[in-house]
Every structure is written in structure tokens, then in C-alpha cells.
Structure 1
Amino acid sequence: MTHKSKKPDAEMLKAVDMNKVAQGDLEHTTLLDMALRRISLNDAAKKLNISYDAIKGRMYRIRHRRDKSKPYIKKPGPKTRYKVHGHEKAIKEYRELSLSSDEISHVLKETINADIDEVTISRFLGEEGFPRMHNRSKFEKEAAQRTIRSIITNYKTDNMKDIEHIITSKFGSAYTGLGIFMALIEELDILKIIRDAYPSDAKRVEGYVLTLLGLKIIQKKRRSDIKHLSEEKMIALFSGRDKVLSCTSLETFDYDMRKKVLEDMKKTYILILMKYMDMSVFNIDFHVIPSFSKSEALETNHAPSRGKNMKSALVFLVQDRESKIFPYSNANVKRSEASDEVIKFLDKVEPLGIKPEWIVGDSKVTNYKNIAKIKKRGIDVVTIRRKGVEMVREVEDAKKNPKAGTWRTVRIKRTKGGYEKVKVHIKTIPVGYYDDGKWRTFKMRQLAIPDNGHEYPMFIITTDFKHSVKDIVEMYPPRWLIELGIKTQTKFFDLNQLASDLSIKIDFDTFLTQISHMLYQMLAKNLFRYENADAETIYKEFIEGGGKVKIYEDKIVVQLNRKRTTGYMINAPILEGWVDDGKNISWLGKKLQIIWK
């Protein structure tokens, strides 16, 4: 079929390469026929075996080419369509995670920098027999976004460089005080906790745990604060990485925590601390961490800090009396099983060779049945008895008639220093409990102290009949040390900030708080005149403040700014060697030296 107009298209003729026409080139032969009006667009499309739209597009490119004085040259296209170039396995795995083609394309670009478009991925998945992605719900799309963040974060985390690969570098930081704790962690071999629990993956886990620990040490109350420290090189150095781990990667690590692994970590922690604790007296107590969520995973407990019953986590805490260190905690306590926690604690530590002489707690930490069990283990319990009207009246009558009962005047040492004389009314009392449907009784020693600065007498009861009245009376008042320690953990380390409503995450976060508190306690014990200082005082007087860090091929020098208290830190026995030539840091692969200027 010929065109109605016989006049040749002059512009089209310029595009024809006559040499190629002479050689029989189909492309230019067809162009010549079109220029001479011999065939229509439809006929040209059929001749070239392309679509009508394709021939129209080609005509457009011919008429709008840059140099119209020269013949048209068709750009050579690919012999075959674009392939996925060795990423077949990854694409299949991502589709099995319910990711769409455009999401898979995004993940490949962000992780391995593979520039594969979604159309190519869709074609590949179709050829592999994968069905088309169904219309996903809002929740499925949100889950897919979480999966994408997790994949990208884990890839970037796993491909971070260790600090030992950085040859030379220097930077300033507001958190150079972390260098002190790097020395403490190495000196106390704290990372043994991780290496024993994760023998094949310790290096990766160390980065996560040290980052979380570092946040607590520098008084960052929420994990999300890591977002504001993404460029803080001292945090990265502390964790042994070249970059700070992201908040998402930290959350992902938490969700992967296993209960057995956490129990193994707690066991190793106790074994490490055994050489630093007296372990003859343990203070025990419960702490309620309030929550404002409505999660069914949390029970309702009475929160003294809020003065009401509310959703919360109940935490069991054990403190060594002499060192003030918390060797054990459990944030997975059910209210109905709370009184049995002390028995569970003893079951865990006795195989490690730990057998205290006394356990001291208030009237709510356990019941008489468990006190009897503890007594059978050869451990004495010192606690207080809930006051009754008849008990108070009996002591008041005994004061009027000194012969009615046994009174003893003892000179006791006050917890805040000095001595004081107090009168103590001594009596042996029977206490009972039900066990297997039978009522059982045993005897306890009751020490009533009427003139104690309060309206009513204090009733101390104990299973200990061997020690003197003076020893028993002096035993209970220092129990406030555990409340002081809990106050420090709540205020400085922000124990009351729930990491999650998941019990395993709460338990792990409480465990990290324990370690942070212990590091501050160990540092305080080595600082002259600051032996009894709390974590907040140590942080403000010694740790807070800027400085510089220099990384050499074989050594890291942390330079802190001088303070009026620097002399105490330089002479701390636990830092001996670190402030001279330095010592090796196992997770950095270099020596660490601490200096002040």
C-alpha cells in the first residue's frame, strides 16, 4: 500500500545511509521506502518485526536527532534482557520474607549496592515460579518495613571494621571518661561473661553489649539516645567498632536474646565477682518498675514511687553487704511466686560454692515456710515482724515492769557513724506455716527495740540463737544499703525506664544496670576519700568532661582533661599500669594508655 502523497520526505532522506542500503541493511532500506512514501508506518513496523508504537518512537528519534546532516545511527541494545547477575539466591530469600519487588530492589541497593530494577526482579521471580505478590494489609506492610530495616542494619553492622584495623586517627570527645571503664572492664575480665555465653559469636555480641553498657555508664537514660550519638567516635571506640551501632540493631539484638544464654551470663558474672565480695551477709529486696502501658505481659503490682497499683515489672535484687555490689537480679518475678525467689537464688549460687551466713530482708521478701527451709540449709535469716496491737502492748507493759521478760542494754554502732545505747526486749516466739496440708511450727528469736526514734517499737526476728544481741541488732539497720543502692540504680542508671514489656528484655536491661553499678562501686573503692561515694558523685567528679583520643598502630592514648580530683584517679590501685605505659585491651587488639593534661 503506497502513501497518498508522492512527494519524498527530504528530512527522512537525510537520515538514510545509502551505503547501508547498498549493502541490503533492512533498517535503512525500510527508512528509504518510508522517505519515498512507498510504505506506511504499519507496513514498516511489519517489515522490521516491531510494534506500531516502536516505529513511531523511532521516527520521533530520527526527526529530533542532534545532527540532522548525518545519517541516523541506531544505538545497539543488549543482546538479551538485563539479568540478576548472581543475586538469584538473595532475591528468592527476600521474596520468601514477603518483600515486594521494589522492596527487594531497595534492599539490594542498600546492602551490596546492586542496581537491579523492580521489573527485572519481577520477571526473574515469575520465571522461577513465584506467584505475584498479593495485596498486603497495613500490618503486613509494616512488618515488611521492619524486616527491611533489620536486614540493612544487620548487614551494615556485620560489615563494620574493627578498631584494630584503623592504623592512625585522632579525635576529640565529650566522653573520654569511658577510657577509665575500658581499663576496668579489662582488669575485671567482664567480657568473659560474653565469651563464655557466645563462644562462636563473641566478637559481634561484644559490640552490642559494650554499646548498651556505655550508654548506661555515661548516664543516657534511653536507648534511643544513641541516635544523637551516631557520630560520637568515643562510643564507637568503647564498643570496638569504627562506627556507632544504630538503635535498630540494638533492638534487634535484644529480641534475639535467649533465656538460657542470659542465665549463663549471670552465672559467669557471679563467678567473676566472688573474689571481690565478702558474701557472708546478703541483703535482699524487691523493686517495682512502673509501666504506663496496658500490655498483658505485665502484672499489676503496688508501685510505692507512684502510691498506687499499676502495670509493672517486679524485680528481685540481692546485694553483698560488705562490697555493696549487686551480684544477682531477676526481673522475671511473678507476684504469686515472689516469696520463693530467695530459695531460687540459693539454688543457683550454692553449686558455685556460695553459702552466706546471714540473709537480711524486710517482712515482705519471703514467708515463714521459706525461712524454715533456709534455716535447714544452715543459713540464718534476719528480718522484721509485722507489728500487731498485742505485740506493741506487750512491749509497753514490759517497759513498765522490767522483770516481765528479758531486757538487755547494748551499745551499737550506727550506720552513719558513732555509737548509741539502746534497750532491747528479748523473747523466743513460735511461728508457723502450712506445708503439705499440715501446720508446722519452729522457734525464732524476737528482739523488740521500743526507743528507736519512731512511735512504735521495731520487732527484729531471726533464726540465729548463737550470736549476741548486739550482733543481731547491728545486722538489720544496714539493710538500708540495698535501698540506697536501688535508689542509685533508679536515679543515675534510670532502672525505672522499662526497656520493653517483654520480660527477657527487662531482665537483660536490669543485668546491664547491675554491671554498670558494679563498675562504679569498684572504681569508688579504689579512690581515696571516695570509697562510699555513689555513682553520680563519681561521674561528676572524675568521669564527666572532654578530652582527646589518639589511635596509633599499636596503642590508643586517651587524654582526659585535668580536674582537682585527678590525683586520686592517677593513684587508684586498680588503674596501676594503665596510666604508665598502658596495658592491652583484648577486644581492641591494641594497648590503652590513660593520661591527663
Structure 2
Amino acid sequence: QYNTKRRLSMDKNFFLHPQDPMQRRYEILRAYFVEELNAEEVANRCDCSIHTVYGLLKQYRKKEEVNFFLPLKQGPKGHRPYVENLKEQAISLRKRNYSIYEIEETLSRNVQRIAPKTIDFILKEDGFSKLFRRTNAERLEALQARREYPEESSIQGFATVPQVSTIYGGTFLFIPLILELELDKLLQGISFYGSKQIPSLNYLLSYLGLKLLGKERLCHIEDFNFDYGIGSFAGLNVLPKCAAITQYSYRNPGSLTVQLVKGFLKILHGRNLVKGNYINLDFHSIPHYGDESQLQNNWIPTRGKSMKSILSFFAQDLETTYLCYANADIEREESSDEVLKFVDFYNSTTGKLPHCLVFDSKLTTYRNMDTLNQKGILFITLRNRGKYIHKKIAKIQEWEKVTIDNLKRKYKNLNAFSELVDLKDYQGKIRQIIVTGTGRELPMVLLTNDKESTIKETITTYTHRWLIELNIGENVDFFNLNALSSPIVVKVNFDIAMTLIANTLYKLLVREIRKFQKSRPKTIFRSFIESRAKIDIEKDLITVKFEKRSFNPLIMDWVRKRQNILVPWMGNRRLRFKF
């Protein structure tokens, strides 16, 4: 109530005690002529002398017209001159199915800035209807329908245009994660090939960008010949062409890829993303469908037969689910020793041995399992079931009831029997656990040198081995791990290393988005990465403006904590996000 009275008194005083000279004159004359007050009453109301009132009356009675208020200036009714010059260009681009924003970007590349609303007004004025909804493939096709050749990719061409756009604006969300992990320093610290036109860091970021977009083949980089926004992600005007990016891995020896994986593991371990308590290990065969191939035959489970393929090896931290190691330079005869190579690699990188390894029955031999035991490394693996397994089960009288918790599985109540057995080429006794009630006809037989953990703890740990198979499945499904375009192992090894990094970046991004923590990369790409955005490039600032989308509020809080980040490969400009 007090505030209401105060506002009313302020409004009243504004008219009764004017401060502006022209308003004061207006109120004096209005009170005299309209309210018919005498000169003395007007002087008392307006806080002036009676002589001032008489002076104003005498002054304005002599004038034929009195102007207390300035006339309003009307704006131009037609287009401005520079708009008329761009009108024909805008209409020509719309005839080629360019959207308003694509027309704006094309004209801005000729340093001719025009607002989208102005373009919309021009097109409606000439009778153009709203453009039909197009898929991303149709948008790219329209952009590439021009007869001009795409620009030559170079770091010098970056930031020559003040505004660009892309339909994959969410790719810029990975830049804060790249800087937090200091991946740019890792990539720049390794002597990968680079030139004055495209330095090594920009080459590698271009390659990584393709992985983050889930492109099946490197030749699909041609889809981005006119996408200047994705080029800006790598600090270039546009991404390198197909020949340059396809042949890039051939310019680098395989030892550099090993350095990359080693440095990446050191980063993950230093940030506690790889703890090393329990590590899942598994092989994956990448098939090759070429006519002429020197590759060996390896078993392909999805095909149910042996095929020409590259045998790759993956390691995953069981607790955090991050992939921490990958190698594709494996011969079939040496595959059983790969677990020992991984142990040496992990020890030389982190300075300690892994606590426990989890793998299936065909990953290594009993002799190598004995070597792991001699080094003090625990392991849990499957044992091949012999033909006499049913007779052995029939002799077991005392089974231990085990209930598996925290797992969404149909068969949680199991029967288990633990004993110590001898193995060929293995010194001493090893623990064997026979498990029935899993829903399969034959029992599961586990081997482990961990004699301290309970049966339930051992079984529960092994049941999480499916996480690495799920992770490899993600690499196949979204990152197209099985799209082997070359039988050259050096190239495949480099491609897998970049897949490892891209997979980790998606996992880090998922961790920051509420309600999406368990989503797969394909879902995150569709909901957040595949989003149209405008990129304004200024002298010391890059602003990424996202279009309105229903999922934007889920990332707004996370993004606002990472504003004004300095990006070295963008000329030390600061990165800012807007919605």
C-alpha cells in the first residue's frame, strides 16, 4: 500500500513540479487557459513568480504557433540502398533451395552483412513461400550444388569471415572437454605430420571431428566442403579434402600412435578416470572385404566364420567404463601374449601394475596366466568346459547358494561350488568355481588366482565383463569401427586410437547431462550434437549461438560454467556459448 501511494505521489509531482523548462512552460499555460486559474494561483502551483507567468502569456500571445514537442521522424519506407544491391543475389540463392540462414552466410562471406528478417521480407515481397523442410543430406546437397570449387583448407583462411554456420553446432561442446583433458597439448607434443598450411594439431582435430560426427568413411569428409562451421572447430576455414585426410595416417610411423595411446592413458589415469583396480580385456576382429588382402583369417562371431580381418585388442576400466588401451598391430600367433604386452604398457605408463584382469577363456594361455600370477596380478577368466563336466557336477554334493545383486538379469539365484585344481603349465593350485542356474544348459566354470574374495564377489566381478563388449559395440555402431577402408595396419591402428579418444569425449559429455547419463553416443549425437548454430568470429572472441531446441536447458548450466575459455588453436580467442 505504501509503495502504491508513493508511486502515485511521484506521478502527481511530475506534473505539478516539472523540471524540464519546456514542460514547465506547458503546465503554466495549461493551468491558465484550461483550468482557468489566475496568474497568482498558477505561480504558486508551479513555484515561479507572477511576473514569469505574465511574461509567458505575453510571449506566446504574440506567436501564431507554439511547438512544445519535437516532431517524430519517420523511418525510410523503402529498402536501404545496400539491400537493393543484395536483393537479386538473395533471390538467386533461394531459387537454388537455399534457406534464409544459408543465404545470410553466403552473402556474409562476401563481406555483405544482411539480417535474416530482411532476407525473409525480400523473399515474401517477391512471392516466395516458406522453404519446405529438408533433411541434413538435402541441405548439404543444396550447398554443394554450386559450381564453384570448395576453398582450399588452411589455417590462414580461418576467421576471414565474421560469421559462419553449421548444422552440427554441438561439436563445439567438446572443445571445453578437450581443453580440460589437455588433449591439444598431447596432440601437439607428438611429432605428427603437419605443414605451414595445416599444422599437425589442426589435422588431428579435423580427423577427430569426423569421429565425433560418426562418419562411416574418411571420404565422407567431402560432405563438409562448404561447412565453414565444422572447419572453425578445427581452427581452419574448411576441413581438409578427402585425399589429404585419407593419406594423413600414412605420413606418420606407427610409433607415434603408440605415443598417443600412452599419453592418453596417462591423462585418464591422472584424472582418476582409469583406476586400474579391475580391467576388462577383449579381442575384436575388424573384417576386411577387399579383393586383394594380405591379412590373416580371424574368427568373426557376428558372421559365424573366419574372414580376412585385423585382430584388435581393447582394455577397459571396469569401474569407470572408459577404454584405456587399444592395439590393432597383432598377429594371430602372438595374440595370446597381448595380455602381457598390455601389462608392461600399463606399468610403464602409470608406474604400477593393474590389480585384477577380467577376460574370457580364449584370450591367453595357462602359461601366461602363471606369468600374471608370478607378477602378483589377479585375474578372473572362463575355463573351457570339458566333455566330462556333467559327471563332475553329478559328484558335487554341497552347493553354495549365491544371489547376484544390482543386476538386471533374469537368473539371479545361482548355485556355486569352489575348489582348488591343478592346470597344465601353471605352477601351484588355482581356484575353480563351477556355477549353475545361469539359464544355460552347461555350467559356467571360472578360474581365478584370487583366493581371498568370496564366491559372490568373484562372480559379480566377472558378470560386468559384458561392459567392454557393450563399449566395443558402441564403437562399431556409431564410430563405425568395422568400416575398415584399408588393410594397412598402421592406418587402422591410428584410426582406432582416434576412436578411443572420441568415445571418451562422448562419455565425459554424457556425464554432464542430466537424464542422459546412460545414453549411447548415437542418442547424444541426435539430441545435442546435430544442432544448427551460428558462429560469430571476432578479433578475440568466438560466440556459438544455438538455435532453439527442447534439450537445450539440460546443457545450459554446464555450458555457463565453461564460458570464455581460451582456445589456443583458434588464435587464442575466447569461446562463448549462447542459446
Counterpart CA distance in 2 for 1:371 and 1:246 is: 48
Match of 1:583 among 550, 565, 568: 565
Separation in 2 of the partners of 1:193 and 1:217?
Answer: 18
Q: Does 1:491 align with 2:488?
A: no
| Within-5 A mapping of 1:308-323 | 308-323=305-320
Counterpart residue number, 2:240: 245
Which position in structure 2 is the counterpart of 1:381?
A: 379
Matching residue's letter, 1:423: N
Q: What are the equivalent positions in structure 2 for 1:15-164 lying under 5 Å apart?
A: 160-161=155-156, 163=158
SS of 1:413 mapped into structure 2: coil
Identity within the alignment, % = 28
Whole-Å Cα distance in 2 between the matches of residues 244 and 238 of structure 1? 9
Instruction: Give the Å deviation of 1:200.
Output: 9.5
SS in 2 for 1:587: helix
Give the AA of the match of 2:545. Q
- The Cα of 1:538 is off from its aligned counterpart by 1.4
Please tell me whether the aligned partners of residues 413 and 419 of structure 1 are also in contact (alpha carbons under 8 angstroms). no
For 1:283 and 1:576, locate their aligned partners in 2 and report how far apart those are by CA, in whole Å.
36
**What residue number does 1:520 align with?**
506
Secondary structure at the counterpart of residue 383 of structure 1: strand
Post-superposition Cα deviations, 1:51-84, rounded to whole Å, max 9, x if no partner, equal xxxxxxxxxxxxxxxxxxxxxxxxxxxxxxxxxx
Q: Report the Cα distance in structure 1 between the residues aligned to 2:403 and 2:289, rounded to whole angstroms.
A: 47
Say which of 534, 540, 552 aligns to 2:520: 534
Taking the TM superposition and a 5 Å limit, the aligned residue runs for 1:428-577 are: 428-433=420-425, 441-572=427-558, 575=559, 577=561
Gaps of 5+ in 1: 1-152, 434-439
| Equivalent residue for 2:188, pick from 192, 195, 200 | 195
Name which of 129, 142, 166 aligns with 1:173: 166
Partner of 2:405: 413
**Aligned partner (choices 338, 342, 345) of residue 339 of structure 2:** 342
Secondary structure at the counterpart of residue 241 of structure 1: coil
- The alpha-carbon deviation at position 412 of structure 1 amounts to 2.1
- How much has 1:296 moved relative to structure 2? 4.1
The answer to whether the Cα contact below 8 Å between 1:226 and 1:247 also exists between their aligned partners in 2 is yes
Indicate the residue corresponding to 2:203 in structure 1.
Answer: 208
For the pair 1:391 / 2:377, whether they are aligned, the reply is: no
Counterpart residue identity of residue 190, structure 1: L
The one-letter amino acid of 1:247's match is C
RMSD of aligned alpha carbons? 2.2
* Deviation digits for residues 461-510 of structure 1 (CA, Å, limit 9, x no counterpart): 10111111111011101100000001100010100011311100000001
Residues 509/182 of structure 1: CA separation in 2 closer, same or farther (3 Å cut): same
Distance in structure 2 (CA, Å) of the matches to 1:445 and 1:418: 27
CA distance in 2, matches of 1:419, 1:396: 21
In the TM superposition, what is the alpha-carbon distance from 1:576 to its structure 2 partner? 5.4
Query: What SS does the aligned partner of 1:177 have?
Result: helix
What is the distance in 1 between the residues matched to 2:192 and 2:474? 33
Query: What displacement does 1:308 show?
Result: 1.6
SS at match of 1:501: coil
Q: Deviations over 1:56-114 (max 9, x none)?
A: xxxxxxxxxxxxxxxxxxxxxxxxxxxxxxxxxxxxxxxxxxxxxxxxxxxxxxxxxxx
Cα 1:529–1:262 shift into 2, 3 Å: same
Matches of 1:329 and 1:559, distance apart in 2: 37
Distance 1:468 1:162, change over 3 A: farther
Shift of residue 564 of structure 1? 2.8
Give the C-alpha shift of residue 378 in structure 1.
1.2
DSSP-derived class of the 2:501 partner: helix
Say which one has the larger Rg.
Answer: 1
> Which residue in the other structure is 2:279 paired with?
282
Structure 1 CA distance for aligned equivalents of residues 193 and 208 of structure 2 = 21
Write out per-residue CA displacement over residues 316-353 of structure 1, whole angstroms, 9 at most, x where no aligned residue.
01011112111110011100000100100111110222
The answer to whether the 8 Å contact 1:360/1:476 transfers is yes
Cα–Cα, structure 1 residues 457 and 419, in superposed 2: closer, same or farther, change >3 Å?
closer
Contact 1:446 1:461 in 2 (8 A): yes
Q: TM-score, normalization: structure 1?
A: 0.68
Distance between the aligned counterparts of 1:160 and 1:587, measured in 2?
9
**Contact 1:410/1:423, CA 8 A, preserved across alignment:** yes
Shift of 1:201: 5.2
CA distance in 2, matches of 1:341, 1:270: 17
What is the match of residue 368 of structure 1? 366
Deviation at 1:523, TM superposition (A): 1.1
The whole-number CA distance in structure 2 between the counterparts of 1:519 and 1:309 is 33
- Which residue identity is paired with 1:377? K
1:236 match: secondary structure:
helix
**Paired position in structure 2 for 1:427:** 419
Q: Distance in 2 between matches of 1:168 and 1:227?
A: 21
- TM-score, normalisation: structure 2: 0.70
CA displacement, residues 389-444 of structure 1 (integer Å, 9 cap, x when unaligned):
2123211332xx33xxxx322332243389933221111111112xxxxxx54321
310, 320, 325: which is aligned to 2:322? Answer: 325
Out of 353, 356, 374, the position equivalent to 2:354 is 356
Matched AA of 1:535: P
Give the superposition deviation at 1:551.
1.0
State whether residues 284 and 318 of structure 1, in contact with CA within 8 Å, keep that contact through their aligned partners in structure 2: yes
Is contact 2:343-2:354 (8 Å) kept?
no
Q: Is the 8 A contact 1:331 1:503 kept in 2?
A: yes
Task: Report the equivalent of 2:70.
Answer: none
**Residues 176 and 560, structure 1, Cα contact 8 Å, conserved in 2:** yes
Stretches of 4+ moved more than 6 A in 1? none
1:113-160 deviations in whole A, cap 9, x for unaligned?
A: xxxxxxxxxxxxxxxxxxxxxxxxxxxxxxxxxxxxxxxx9x965x54
List per-residue Cα deviations over 1:10-62 (Å, max 9, x = no partner).
Answer: xxxxxxxxxxxxxxxxxxxxxxxxxxxxxxxxxxxxxxxxxxxxxxxxxxxxx
Equivalent residue letter for 2:284: H
Measure, in 2, the Cα distance between the counterparts of 1:443 and 1:285. Answer: 25
Q: Among residues 293, 299, 302, which one is paired with 1:302 in the alignment? A: 299
Output the CA distance in 2 between the equivalents of 1:504 and 1:520.
25
Which segment is superposed worse, 201-210 or 483-492? 201-210
Residues in 2 aligned to 1:253 and 1:200: alpha-carbon distance in whole angstroms: 8
Give how far 1:570 is off. Answer: 2.1
* Alpha carbons 2:221, 2:242 under 8 Å: kept: yes
Aligned residue for 2:217? Answer: 222
Please give the secondary structure, in 1, of the residue aligned with 2:542: strand
Equivalents in 1 of 2:443, 2:324: separation in Å?
A: 33
Counterpart of 2:266 in structure 1 is 271
Counterpart code for 1:360: V
Distance in 2 separating the partners of 1:396 and 1:586: 68
Contact 1:546 1:561 in 2 (8 A): yes
- The reply to whether residue 592 of structure 1 matches residue 575 of structure 2 is yes
Equivalent residue pairs, number: 424
Do 1:167 and 1:552's aligned partners in 2 also have CA atoms closer than 8 Å? no
Going from structure 1 to structure 2, the CA distance change for 1:199 and 1:536 (only over 3 Å counts) comes to closer
Distance of 1:550 and 1:441 partners within structure 2: 67
Look up the equivalent residue of 1:547 and give its one-letter code.
A
Query: Are 2:545 and 2:577, in contact at CA under 8 Å, matched by a contact in 1?
Result: yes
